Amino acid sequence: DTAVSQTPKYLVTQMGNDKSIKCEQNLGHDTMYWYKQDSKKFLKIMFSYNNKELIINETVPNRFSPKSPDKAHLNLHINSLELGDSAVYFCASSQGNKNIQYFGAGTRLSVL
């Protein structure tokens, strides 16, 4: 069983469209995250949710809106996609104070 699963794996879309990426973890973790990895492989945290509550919201455009329906799911909705949004988006989860991140396989987003 995949511990942290995100869908879709690939997403190709036109500029201006709205898209969503879904993430689910079956590890029983209380914290979930979204990261963006650009073409230079730089990993940057975007959002963090703990027990469905937002605890970290880094400087990202408000076109990005996370939603956590329960502590096992954290979805990412992106409005009005721009070329610069092209990247790999990773979902991750962790439990407790150790902060060890368990990453999903990533969603490769290409905006044309």
- How many other C-beta atoms are found inside a 10 Å radius of the C-beta of residue 47? 21
Binding mask 15-34 for other proteins (x = CB under 8 A): ----------------x-x-
55 part of the interface to other proteins, by CB under 8 A: yes
Among 48, 66, 74, 81, binds other proteins (CB under 8 A): 48
Q: Tell me, by CB under 8 A, how many residues bind other proteins.
A: 24
40 part of the interface to other proteins, by CB under 8 A: yes
Rg (CA), the chain: 13
Nearest-angstrom CA–CA distance, 4 and 19: 20
